[in-house]
Amino acid sequence: MIAAIDDDAWQAIEYPNAIFDEQAGCWVSDAEIAETRYTAFTSKKGRAVTARLIVRRVKRLNPQAAGGQDELFGQYRYHAVFTDSPFHLAQAEEQHRDHAIVEQVFADLVCGPLAHLPSGDFAANAAWLTCAAITHNLLRATGCLAGGVHARARGATLRRRLVAVPARLARHGRGHVTFRLPQHWRWQQAWMNVFDAVHDPPPAHAV
């Protein structure tokens, strides 16, 4: 079905903000979109639905191009969505990407604080939802401060690597507290990035 789309039907688009392509493992800022008609559910009698098949394609870069091995013809990764959206092509494709982002946020929340909802008390649900939104934003900020893969990691990953830390508190005289982290801990640098960003540097001691 995608192969039937004419080469002249593809429209170039640019993202206002680059998005991460999980298949390629890199950030992309441009793509091409096109659409065709498609009939789904034909195997179910009386359930066939004909609507729009919107396709986004991102050029697959040749990893050996830097070594002088240029491509003979373009290769693409395709992402399709079946929809009856009344909006024009570019708008409908953008809304679908926004919807995917929102769904990812919902998945993070359901995997975390929203797993405890609903209760029988409306006010309790409202308060818990507010707390869930606050913690979600703080967790995303933590991932960005940690840097690297944590900037786009799921909430469950951030909680496992940066929050639920198997550390030990050691108290000393005059209220001093030492946070003993595991030795040779894989996520030490990411955790320290967060710690250094949100804490003032220790006071200088006179020699």
Using one digit for the tens of pLDDT, what is the confidence trace for 171-184? 877 777 787 877 88
At which residue do the structure tokens 């359901």 appear? 110
Using one digit for the tens of pLDDT, what is the confidence trace for 90-144? 888 877 777 766 777 777 888 877 877 777 788 888 888 898 889 888 988 999 9
Dihedral sign for Cα 82, 88, 92, 93, please. Answer: positive
Reduced to 3 states, what is the DSSP secondary structure of residue 135? helix
Does residue 16 surpass a pLDDT of 70? no
How far is the C-alpha of 95 from the C-alpha of 103, rounded, in Å? 12
Any idea where the domains of the chain sit in the sequence?
Answer: 2-61+73-110, 119-207
Does residue 66 surpass a pLDDT of 50? no
How far is the C-alpha of 108 from the C-alpha of 56, rounded, in Å? 25
pLDDT for the residue 205: 59
Contacts for 197-202: CB closer than 8 Å, 24+ residues apart: 197/145, 198/145
Dihedral sign for Cα 194, 195, 200, 201, please. Answer: negative
Q: Output 13 or 201, whichever has higher pLDDT.
A: 13
Contact 39, 91 (CB under 8 A): no
